[in-house]
Structure 1
Amino acid sequence: MACLFRRAIAEQVSRVVGLPSETVAQSIRVIPVHRKHESPDFQLFVNSLLDGHSDPTSNIHEKAEKLAKKLTRDSVISEIGVARGAVTFKVNRELLTKAVLHKISQDGQSYGLNTELLSVLPKRKTIVEYSSPNIAKKFHVGHLRSTIIGNFIANLKEAVGNEVIRINYLGDWGLQFGLLGTGFSTFGCEKELEANPLQHLFDVYVKINEAAEKDDAIRSSAKEFLKKLEEGHPQVLSLWTHFRDLSIQEYAKVYKRLGVHFDDYSGESFYKEKSQEVLQLLKNKGILKTTENGTGVIDLSEGQDFSSYKAVVRSDGTSLYITRDLAAAIDRMDTYRFGEMIYVTDKSQQTHFQQMFKILEILGKDAGRCYHVPFGLVKGMKTRKGDVIFLEDVLDEARARMLQNMAAAETSKELEDPAGTAEKIGIAALIVQDFKGPLLSDYQFDWDRALQSYGDTGVFLQYTHARLNSLQALCDMGDYTDTDTSCLQEPSVISTMQHLLRYDEVVLKCLEDLQPRYLVTYLMGLGHLASVAHRTLPVKGSTPEVALARLLFFRNVQKVLGNAMKILGIMPVTNM
């Protein structure tokens, strides 16, 4: 395991440079595997480490050479070299294989997640708010990114020991409900609502919106409905509750398909009263201003530029989206005493969160614990039905296409639940295509590219995991406790061991940037290394000792692959 080798290197270096071994260890990194030739395992960039402890007139390469000459090979370190201003270390190959495989067997799901490199990170209570669809509307495909990105961040934080609270902050308040309430009395049908709740409410919403554009009286009626809702009118409140309950039931079906869960279904409605407390707080601090038309605003600038004013309350006294968001943030600060709160929404809301965090600061709240993770748009996502609108259509399309591909593939196995397997593979394809690049970037969706079984795709990851599982099922030899791994010295094994050493570094990078692409790239590398090893290291026909060692190797590669896929939000399949 990397920490064992880092510690051995750090202890020797610390004796030479006079720095604590813990400090040195934080500067040691695993060298990425080279495709064409074997490379050293670790590197220590000396410039920052030795500042103030070496001759300032010497260049970086000279510093590295001077340090390397003072270090010695031992039972752990087999070679010491210098490359590009770094001291490089190659560890004993037999020890490398033995230590990594033993550590994976010992740690299981926690492999690479509780190392010395990650131990310096504070364990904090983390709130992740994500998905957050609008009640009474079908789950729009635009919410797919928020759902899977938020799920990844929550999984990642949880994996390294944080207490994570997953919140689905539903859009269940505001003028949209005024329109929907008004529209349901005209276009609604209780029978259709029970049969297909979200589709019917969507149809009603579209019709009333069209009508409201032509008739100001309808918009006035919608505002009156919302006012009654905020005042708690029993009949209006009952209708809203009915819409909300039906919506959550429908959303739960989609979340189940995605393997996503929440600890709290919160919503704007919970904060309609607390938002009035926020307004009172703003008044008490003398920062709530009223415009000529009666709208309540806050000046977010240093000067008096009116364009910097942010509305926080309508002229009729009803709350706005940002007021309810402020109330929710303050309430969570008081209730959860969290260490960090992460909002996952599309990039169009960047200004909203900047303004919200600024108002929290004005109110004397610790907005430094709040973060916004913005993401770009998905373009060109179409199904056979045409331009896609709803997420369920995308999931159905992914499952149908994968079933078709599986039926056409010569290597496909008879499966107990082909549709369920196809669904998991299809969702893996969607997630990997989404996670390949920087989250902030828009990207063009391509079904054919996403569902390829080769290359860097979710299908390839699932195929690799299933193939390693099948190998275990066909050749399982029982107890691996006393397996002799000294025979595992082939280049494909060593390259894979080197790659497995880097897992905690990749996790650390994901934690620093909250970007899944680093983990996706790492897993693709692991998948391709596993494929080479599978091709070059036969189990059948080998001696029992070699077969057992190779099976242990493949089993442990599968463990790390599967565990990391779960962090991404992918449910690994065992057959396909």
Structure 2
Amino acid sequence: MACFFRRTIAHQLSKMCGQYEDVFIPLICAVPVSKKQSMGDLRVSVNSLVQNGAVLPHEDLQRNTETLAKQIKHNSVVEDVIAAPGMIYFRLNKLMLAQKVLKQLQSEPDTFGLKSELLTHLHGGRTLVEFSSPNVAKKFHAGHLRSTFIGNFIANVKKAVGKEVIRVNYLGDWGMQFGLLGAGFERFGCQQKLKVQALQHLFEVSRCFCHAVTRLFSFNSPSSVQVYVQVNREAEHDGNVRVAAADFFRRLEQKEHHALSLWKQLMEITVKEYKRIYERLGVHFDHFSGESFYHSQTKNVLEDLKSRGLLKTTQKGTTVFDLSDAGDLSSYATLARSDGTSLYITRDIAAALDRHQRFGFDEMIYVTDKSQSVHFQQLFHILSAMGHQWANSCVHVAFGRVQGMSTRRGDVIFLEDVLDEARTQMLNNMRESRTSKALEDPEETAERIGISAVVIQDFKGPLISDYRFEWDTVLQAQGDTGVFLQYTHARLRSLLNRFGDEKKCGDLSPLTDNRSVSILQHLLRYDEILLQSATDLQPRHLVNFLMTLCHLVSSAHRELPVKGSSLEVAQARLCLFSAARSLLANGMRILGITPVDKM
């Protein structure tokens, strides 16, 4: 319960400096646990006090620091005050530290840290998160893995800090990519195969047709499958592939019966399959929408832009928004093709306008890979030019690509292959482990642990970075992995089940040893970690916090036995381990991980 200790220290600083207590609250930080002997439990930077106008600047920073430190009185909460270069440290009463933290965690295990004064300014408001967003009629590709996991985390952490969250899955069910699929299905599709293995067949049709187009127009070709051979041979003698795709999309926009009927059929098949995948991942959405929903609104968007004098026509007849400073079309965004059909960005503008009108969001977050960064820069620029100030509250969370993700059967193509591989390998590891418990549903447990392993691997570094995926590293039981995270939680749950998860914390005086105090000090940082995670939308902060907690708990579990200890000591330690387990589970859920009780 760091807010109690911050408030106590802020009260003294307020009297000394003649400022409101609230000025000092965000400046007082918990000291990260270190192998070196800590100078204190909380600290405040003297520079931060100067920058916030709490104290006057002084040429001799150290003298300023020492003068301030001497004025702070020791009391029942703060046992010692230490002046270090530019920093003032506060040593807390360790028994009071244990009492405040553990009793708070016991009385409000699910909301510990969430009511912190550090997070007050984040409470309220509405956040819309658009994530996952696969293309209709294509199997859930592994490339959507990061968007789904990251978007789910962002939605979870925003909700945790007090936002109303709207989760949107914006399906790619329109545009030229669907034109390629529609034209491809008309040429290569089979209704019988569609009934038996729908998405696999559509994947082959779509990829084949796209590959045919890229071959004809010298684009970078995607990876191939066996059925590409037939298409490539045909494409070499057929220069109308791209024309056919454009024609199908035009028929779709004009609501031609056959094209629209095929679109509806493929939509129903795909959404049903996607919902099954999301249920497996433990991810849910409040709204499924698609580009098609905004097709009819693109005309109004173009008319609005035209009335504002923001559109130009190129020599090729395309309608564009000039992004150049000089107004010479050296940089522009195309909003309509020469035949009048809309583009992805046009529909994105319509979607943003509709969402703001319908949901009245305070911020909207898009989660896609970094290759779309320019697209979102253009989108936000256009929305601002249209006079919508809320465009400044739109954010693109970009992420890098995953390399090296493969199974024993070869390259992983679909997300389900990744999930199946994680479950299979984890199940094998559990069967070979001597410490594995008898489980009622070992496959379900293996699935949860496998997903945890993939999530943690994905979240360990900066999201913008590419990274190499290696199964041996991902599924290790030791080290900072999802498996270690789950193992620690299951181990704590087993301990508490064996000796009884005490309903009330009694005498906590046995918890003043270094191992216990290290855990308590670490728990003080939880609200700071939530603030940092909700601010920069990077899950690695929470991952690092939970991993450190796991290592501290593992050390304490070895050195602070419950069995063989006196009743008083055993109960105090159980209270400590119970608190650690609760916070570990809370953090895992925010990351999108379901804790397991046995493994």
Q: TM tier, shorter chain?
A: over 0.9
Residue matched to 1:22: 22
Point out the more displaced range, 38-47 or 449-458: 38-47
User: What is the correspondence of 1:45-444 to structure 2 with a 5 Å cutoff?
Assistant: 45-50=45-50, 56-212=57-213, 213=216, 214=235, 215-366=238-389, 367-444=391-468
CA contact (8 A) 2:103 2:505 kept: no
- Is 2:41 aligned against 1:41? yes
Letter aligned with residue 404 of structure 2? G
1:126 offset after TM fit, Å? 0.2
- Report sequence identity in percent: 53
Aligned-partner Cα distance in 2 for 1:85–1:411 = 49
SS in 1 for 2:159: helix
Aligned-partner Cα distance in 1 for 2:268–2:54 = 66
SS in 2 for 1:298: strand
- Is 2:19 aligned against 1:10? no
Aligned-partner Cα distance in 2 for 1:181–1:564 = 44
1:107 offset after TM fit, Å? 1.7
Deviation digits for residues 513-558 of structure 1 (CA, Å, limit 9, x no counterpart): 1101111111010000111111111111122222122111111100
Residue matched to 2:228: none
CA contact (8 A) 1:493 1:533 kept: yes
- Is 2:591 aligned against 1:545? no
CA contact (8 A) 1:38 1:495 kept: no
Deviation digits for residues 51-75 of structure 1 (CA, Å, limit 9, x no counterpart): 6665644422211100111111101
Q: 1:163 to 1:20 in 2, by over 3 A?
A: same
Unpaired segments ≥5 residues, structure 1? none
1:292 offset after TM fit, Å? 2.0
Figure out how many residues of one structure are paired with residues of the other and give that number: 575
1:291 offset after TM fit, Å? 1.5
SS in 2 for 1:90: strand
Aligned-partner Cα distance in 1 for 2:568–2:64 = 46
Point out the more displaced range, 482-491 or 134-143: 482-491
Aligned-partner Cα distance in 1 for 2:326–2:79 = 65
1:182 offset after TM fit, Å? 2.0
Aligned-partner Cα distance in 1 for 2:355–2:588 = 31
Letter aligned with residue 462 of structure 1? Q
CA contact (8 A) 1:480 1:548 kept: no
Residue matched to 2:221: none
Aligned-partner Cα distance in 1 for 2:130–2:538 = 16
SS in 2 for 1:266: strand
1:26 offset after TM fit, Å? 1.7
Letter aligned with residue 308 of structure 1? S
Aligned-partner Cα distance in 2 for 1:53–1:184 = 69
Aligned-partner Cα distance in 1 for 2:435–2:212 = 56
SS in 2 for 1:415: coil
SS in 1 for 2:240: helix
Unpaired segments ≥5 residues, structure 2? 217-234
Choose the corresponding residue for 1:464, options 488, 500, 508: 488
1:394 offset after TM fit, Å? 0.7
Letter aligned with residue 312 of structure 2? K
Q: 1:211 to 1:119 in 2, by over 3 A?
A: closer
Residue matched to 2:219: none
1:169 offset after TM fit, Å? 0.4
SS in 1 for 2:330: helix
Aligned-partner Cα distance in 1 for 2:564–2:297 = 71
Point out the more displaced range, 47-56 or 18-27: 47-56
CA contact (8 A) 2:122 2:161 kept: no
1:18 offset after TM fit, Å? 1.1
Residue matched to 2:479: 455
Letter aligned with residue 157 of structure 1? K
CA contact (8 A) 2:122 2:163 kept: no
CA contact (8 A) 2:50 2:56 kept: no
Aligned-partner Cα distance in 2 for 1:55–1:327 = 51
Aligned-partner Cα distance in 1 for 2:419–2:54 = 58
SS in 2 for 1:44: strand
1:251 offset after TM fit, Å? 1.1
Aligned-partner Cα distance in 1 for 2:50–2:245 = 68
CA contact (8 A) 1:43 1:86 kept: yes
Residue matched to 2:540: 517
Letter aligned with residue 111 of structure 2? S
Deviation digits for residues 2-46 of structure 1 (CA, Å, limit 9, x no counterpart): 001011111011111111111112211111112232441000112
Point out the more displaced range, 176-185 or 379-388: 176-185
1:121 offset after TM fit, Å? 2.5
SS in 2 for 1:307: coil
Q: CA RMSD in A?
A: 1.4
Aligned-partner Cα distance in 1 for 2:452–2:44 = 36
- TM-score, structure 2 normalization: 0.94
Deviation digits for residues 463-518 of structure 1 (CA, Å, limit 9, x no counterpart): 000000001111116x5325221222221110000000000011111122110111
SS in 2 for 1:306: coil
Aligned-partner Cα distance in 2 for 1:524–1:76 = 29
CA contact (8 A) 2:505 2:572 kept: no
- TM-score, structure 1 normalization: 0.97
Aligned-partner Cα distance in 2 for 1:58–1:323 = 57
Q: 1:345 to 1:4 in 2, by over 3 A?
A: same
Aligned-partner Cα distance in 1 for 2:57–2:321 = 54
Aligned-partner Cα distance in 2 for 1:384–1:111 = 43
Q: 1:454 to 1:55 in 2, by over 3 A?
A: same
1:307 offset after TM fit, Å? 2.9
Letter aligned with residue 28 of structure 1? I
Aligned-partner Cα distance in 2 for 1:54–1:268 = 55
1:170 offset after TM fit, Å? 0.4
- Is 2:524 aligned against 1:501? yes
SS in 1 for 2:110: helix
SS in 2 for 1:540: coil
1:459 offset after TM fit, Å? 0.5
Point out the more displaced range, 201-210 or 66-75: 201-210
Letter aligned with residue 85 of structure 2? R
Aligned-partner Cα distance in 2 for 1:46–1:207 = 64
SS in 1 for 2:593: coil
Aligned-partner Cα distance in 2 for 1:160–1:211 = 49
Q: 1:120 to 1:55 in 2, by over 3 A?
A: closer
Deviation digits for residues 407-436 of structure 1 (CA, Å, limit 9, x no counterpart): 111111111111111111111111111111
Aligned-partner Cα distance in 2 for 1:150–1:85 = 39
Q: 1:182 to 1:48 in 2, by over 3 A?
A: closer
